[in-house]
Structure 1
Amino acid sequence: MDSITIGGLPGSGTTTVAKILKEKLGLPHVYAGDMFREMAKEYGMTLSEFGSYCEKHPEIDKELDKKQEMILALGNVILEGRLAGWLSYRNGIPAFKIWLECDEDERVRRVMEREGGKFEDVRAQIREREKSEKKRYSDFYEIDMDDTSIYDIVIDTTDIRPEEVVEKIMEKMKEMKSQGNL
């Protein structure tokens, strides 16, 4: 099987869905966010500080990209990350590409549930992170993160359970397989 990429904004459900897919498909799950967090830790910075730092140091994103590209090229993996689908697409690496969307208020609630904090503080952190990432991806890669045309499936997770999201993904994969597109 080719790899699977799963991306979405913070709180859209990518990690939860990736874990369920891992169980269903028996594939390893690699989370690019963990790599980024580890690098921030190595630099002695918070995620927000590190994101701002990366805006001026594209070599950091390039290093992370190379790691992700190598993982994708090996195949048989679920790679979760904001740019994972784009890395697959731009490098011609076969993968089933998933993008999850979700209403901002719901995403804030989910992040609060996971990490704590006050609603407006969490919203501000998420917006700052998204703004930084959007700038980096546009400046360094000429990628418009609002363009979801490269994905095999785009799902709004606002009002559906993670298990339902996975059902939709499995149905789409089955459909594409039967058409010889996967």
Structure 2
Amino acid sequence: MSVITISRASYSLGKEIAEKLAQRLGYTCIAREILLEASKEFNIPEAKLFRALSTQSSFLDRISSKKHRYIAYIQSSVLHALNCDNVVYHGFAGHFFVKDIPHVFKVRIIADPDERAKLVMARDGVSKDDALHFLTKLDEQRTKWSQFFYGINTSDPSLYDLVIHIKRISVDDAVEIISNSVRLERFQTTPDSKEQMNDLCLAAAVRASLLDIDEDVEVVAQKGEVTVRTRSPQFVQKGLAQHIKDIVKKATCANDVRVETFPTSPLGIWTVVEADKKLN
């Protein structure tokens, strides 16, 4: 069992490759459906979540706390979907969330600008120059988006296990190459990699559930045990710690939770509150 993420430049036929690949392997193919799931789970309009992933944003919008919040919701939903295995995901940003998971096969699809421009011209009825200008701006905006939120460039080949250039290699060729490569033992799910994925998924779910308390909350999960780090005035720390534990217990399947509160005073230090107390 494996997970495949396909990162693609716009109009590079990545969607077609993902759909044919999923059909070939008998995997589930997901993309935009993630936004619908996140919208339902977190009661956020799908359009707002889509704009959080959109590169057509002003600088003020990109730094807004709401945008960070929406991306946290999307991350939780993406990881929940990928944790099922046997999935091909071709939505934007998915590979960011699972970059360190061994059984996730990360693929990048690229194509020549002229070939991409032909697709834009056919869709929008514009000139080649206009199509190339549109693609240049779109690529620049996506690069800025990924660098702003994650400090990486999506075109960096070191982020991927495989980069395929659609030119001499056709869509069907790409499907054949990926389907053969993903069968390698190194991309199969193991107990250790599954536990790593479970912890990543759990941490994202916990963080999403706590954003109303602290938008900068930090969450780490290890073997089902969760550590939450947050800032608060000293006089509310104990009550806040229990409140956080109650929320985590209701929202997730965490085995244990540890809450560390950081006083809002500039001279404060991390204080462990009710450490190692089990959820029950």
- Give the structure 2 partner of residue 19 of structure 1: 19
- Asked if the contact 1:98/1:151 (under 8 Å) is kept, the reply is yes
Q: 1:33 to 1:63 in 2, by over 3 A?
A: same
- Asked if the contact 1:40/1:47 (under 8 Å) is kept, the reply is no
Separation of aligned partners in 2, 1:148 and 1:142: 15
- Asked if the contact 2:17/2:175 (under 8 Å) is kept, the reply is yes
- Asked if the contact 2:103/2:187 (under 8 Å) is kept, the reply is no
2:149 is aligned with 1:144:
no
- Write out aligned runs for 1:31-110 (5 A): 31-32=31-32, 35=35, 42-43=47-48, 51-53=56-58, 55-57=62-64, 58-59=67-68, 60-90=70-100, 92=101, 94-110=103-119
Q: CA deviation at 1:7?
A: 0.9
Separation of aligned partners in 2, 1:112 and 1:40: 32
- Give the structure 2 partner of residue 172 of structure 1: 181
Separation of aligned partners in 1, 2:120 and 2:84: 31
Q: CA deviation at 1:136?
A: 1.6
Unaligned runs of 5+ in 2: 189-280
Q: CA deviation at 1:110?
A: 2.3
More moved, 47-56 vs 134-143: 47-56
More moved, 70-79 vs 8-17: 70-79
CA displacement, residues 121-147 of structure 1 (integer Å, 9 cap, x when unaligned): 333332222222211211111112232
Unaligned runs of 5+ in 1: none
CA displacement, residues 16-57 of structure 1 (integer Å, 9 cap, x when unaligned): 001111211111111149839x999735x9899863155233
Instruction: Report the aligned-residue RMSD.
Output: 3.1
Q: CA deviation at 1:181?
A: 4.2
- Asked if the contact 1:97/1:152 (under 8 Å) is kept, the reply is yes
- Give the structure 1 partner of residue 205 of structure 2: none
Residue identity in the other structure for 2:80: M
- Asked if the contact 1:100/1:154 (under 8 Å) is kept, the reply is yes
Residue identity in the other structure for 1:172: S
Q: Sequence identity of aligned pairs in percent?
A: 22
Q: CA deviation at 1:101?
A: 1.3
Separation of aligned partners in 2, 1:132 and 1:125: 11
Kindly indicate whether structure 1 or structure 2 has the higher relative contact order, using CA contacts under 8 Å at least 6 residues apart. Answer: 1
Separation of aligned partners in 2, 1:33 and 1:157: 26
CA displacement, residues 124-182 of structure 1 (integer Å, 9 cap, x when unaligned): 332222222211211111112232213221110123321011111123224x23xx443
Compute the TM-score of the two structures, normalised by the length of structure 2. Answer: 0.54
Residue identity in the other structure for 2:93: L
Q: CA deviation at 1:86?
A: 2.5
- Asked if the contact 1:33/1:81 (under 8 Å) is kept, the reply is no
- Asked if the contact 1:40/1:50 (under 8 Å) is kept, the reply is no
Residue identity in the other structure for 1:117: G
- Asked if the contact 2:107/2:162 (under 8 Å) is kept, the reply is yes
- Asked if the contact 1:55/1:132 (under 8 Å) is kept, the reply is no
Separation of aligned partners in 1, 2:45 and 2:133: 20
Q: 1:159 to 1:132 in 2, by over 3 A?
A: same
Higher gyration radius (CA) = 2
Separation of aligned partners in 2, 1:100 and 1:50: 19
Separation of aligned partners in 1, 2:12 and 2:149: 24
Q: 1:51 to 1:75 in 2, by over 3 A?
A: farther
Stretches (4+) displaced over 3 A = 32-36, 38-41, 45-50
Separation of aligned partners in 2, 1:86 and 1:99: 12
- Asked if the contact 1:9/1:82 (under 8 Å) is kept, the reply is no
